[in-house]
Amino acid sequence: ITLADGFGHRWAEILMSTFLQGRAEDLGRLDRLTGDGDFGNNITSALRRAQQSIDAQEPQDYRGRLTAVSRGFLGTGGTSGPLFGMFFRDLAHCSDGGEPTLGELSDGLTAAVATVQRYGKAEVGHKTMIDALVPAARTLESLVPGTDPVQALHRTAQAAIEGARSTADLVAKRGRASYVGEVARGVLDPGAAAAAIVLQAAAAAQST
């Protein structure tokens, strides 16, 4: 089943509007508690750059839009910039260029998560974006055969949200939050929360 016409377009747009209208700033506050506080700026500048390149080049297909998002992140500092950059690059390449099928998106998400793990060496439980991404990719894989795409993407986003919530109870084993030990317990990981928002945006892009 191919995702709805304009899925890539709406996914990119919802990402920009959600993060640029305050969500990135909220997540930056979390990074201030357990890291160096730049997460909000990192994600905002990545998406501003993506928006500028979309405005300038007007990419017309799924791959073009997701590639603009990927490049926005790849040009950004912090640990999350390159990791999200590579994540979106794998997703950009999951189809022949047009809107992916649900199966292609699932394979793309699984590949993207593997890439983040290859570079970042984080496992589930290390209090990173991986805590949201791994359950999301597994959920989508399990739902590909025979599930309506709107349902499948909502349940995928739900798995990411639950995974992100689970990071609050953890002490970090990767990233700057690992430098502060017990201080990070009780604080949500901003990268995991951002990953959950990315997948919520995908669900919204399919259902509207």
The contact set with ligand ADP (CB under 6 A) reads 31, 35-36, 38-39, 42, 78-80, 83, 116, 120-122, 128-130, 174-176, 189-192
Among 8, 72, 78, 100, binds Mg ion (CB under 5 A): 78
Name the residue nearer to ligand ADP (CB basis): 35 or 100: 35
DSSP-derived secondary structure letter, 2: B
Structure token digits, residue 77: 């500092």
Name the residue nearer to ligand ADP (CB basis): 7 or 39: 39
Contact between 39 and Mg ion by CB under 5 A: the answer reads yes
Binding at 100: pick from Mg ion, ligand ADP, none (beta carbon under 5-8 Å per type): none
Least distance in angstroms from the C-beta of 45 to ligand ADP? 11
Contact between 64 and Mg ion by CB under 5 A: the answer reads no
Name the residue nearer to ligand ADP (CB basis): 24 or 102: 24
Least distance in angstroms from the C-beta of 155 to ligand ADP? 22
Checking 85-91 for CB contacts under 8 A at 24+ apart, the result is: 85/46, 86/112, 86/115, 86/116, 86/119, 87/112, 87/113, 87/115, 87/116, 87/133, 88/112, 90/115, 91/66
Contacts of 39 (CB under 8 A, 6+ apart): 24, 27, 28, 30, 31, 78, 80, 190, 191, 194
Phi-psi region of 106 (alpha: psi -120 to 50; beta: other; left: phi over 0): alpha
Binding at 130: pick from Mg ion, ligand ADP, none (beta carbon under 5-8 Å per type): ligand ADP
Least distance in angstroms from the C-beta of 27 to ligand ADP? 8
CA pair distance 173, 122, nearest whole angstrom = 8
Residues that bind Mg ion (CB under 5 A): 31, 35-36, 38-39, 78
